[in-house]
Amino acid sequence: DDHPLLISTEGAVRVLTLNRPQALNAFTTGLLGQLRAALDEAASDAGVRAVLITGAGRAFCAGQDLSDPHIKPEFDEHSGAVDPHRKPKAKDIGNLLDHYYIPLALRLRSMPVPTVCAVNGVAAGAGANFALGCDLVLAGQSASFIQAFSKIGLVPDCGGTWLLTRLVGRARAMQLALLGDKLPAEQAQAWGLIARCVADADLQSEAMATAQKLSRMPTRALVQTREALDASMALEFEDALKLEARLQSQLGYAHDYLEGAAAFLTKRQPAFKDR
């Protein structure tokens, strides 16, 4: 577990690869801390214009590492029976959310550049919801999504309750969250849970091409588009119109709009730079 997160850069795309394949890239506090630090670093690096997140090995991420000493309940290793007198761990789970998952989910959602997730295999629990928190989610045909929480007596976290209801509606959110069954990538695309399901062999190249394409686009406008789409869920129509107008009036004075419009009118390639 020396390098639970691999970090590389291709052009203006920062690639973060979850790298604990022996445990299906389950989140330890070490991995969660490195992921947050890497997102912070990408956010403050002006040369980074998109982030691509994926997993090493056959899985994307199995969610919280349930053997992590911070949260592992006490039980008889031989029989598997829990000790009725064990010290409750609920407080520790709350601490884990407060100190790791909530800051991580907020960091991801407020990145100043677009985020792409390449789901290369099973994404379970917090792993599924971390993926779904990215701006564009691509999954390989053999990948799947599991809201594993209910099976171990928890509620969806890492933004799952918010994301699922918005992405697929209450009926399907309830089906996924209550039963905790595996949703194959193809069905996830058909339901609108993710943007695209692609052949396994094409996943990394398609995701990289998508991230590269985004990295050449007007970054600030893309990020404000994310903010406006998310805000719209809680707005009246007229307030959404006003928010659009406020953002548009700021963007209209920025470099990228002038560049984009001039490039269009003179039939040349634009060079965007606002972040």
Q: Which residues contact ligand T3D by CB under 6 A?
A: 23-24, 26, 62-67, 71, 93, 96, 122, 124-126, 146, 148-149, 152, 154, 157
Residue 17 Ramachandran class (φ > 0 left, ψ -120 to 50 alpha, else beta): beta
Residue 50 Cβ vs ligand T3D, minimum distance, rounded to whole Å = 26
Residue 118 Cβ vs ligand T3D, minimum distance, rounded to whole Å = 17
In three-state secondary structure terms, 171 is helix
Q: Give the single-character DSSP code of 83.
A: P
Is residue 228 within 8 Å of 244, Cβ to Cβ? yes
Instruction: Using the minimum distance from each CB to ligand T3D, give the nearer residue, 56 or 122.
Output: 122
Instruction: Using the minimum distance from each CB to ligand T3D, give the nearer residue, 60 or 257.
Output: 60
String of b and e for 157-190 (b: at least 16 CB within 10 Å)? Answer: bbbbebbbbebbeeebbebbbeebeebebeebbe
Instruction: Using the minimum distance from each CB to ligand T3D, give the nearer residue, 9 or 67.
Output: 67
Instruction: Using the minimum distance from each CB to ligand T3D, give the nearer residue, 186 or 206.
Output: 186
Instruction: Using the minimum distance from each CB to ligand T3D, give the nearer residue, 58 or 242.
Output: 58
| Residue the block writes with tokens 């090995």 | 57
Residue 174 Cβ vs ligand T3D, minimum distance, rounded to whole Å = 18
Residue 157 Cβ vs ligand T3D, minimum distance, rounded to whole Å = 5
CA dihedral (166, 131, 33, 161) positive or negative = positive
Residue 129 Cβ vs ligand T3D, minimum distance, rounded to whole Å = 8
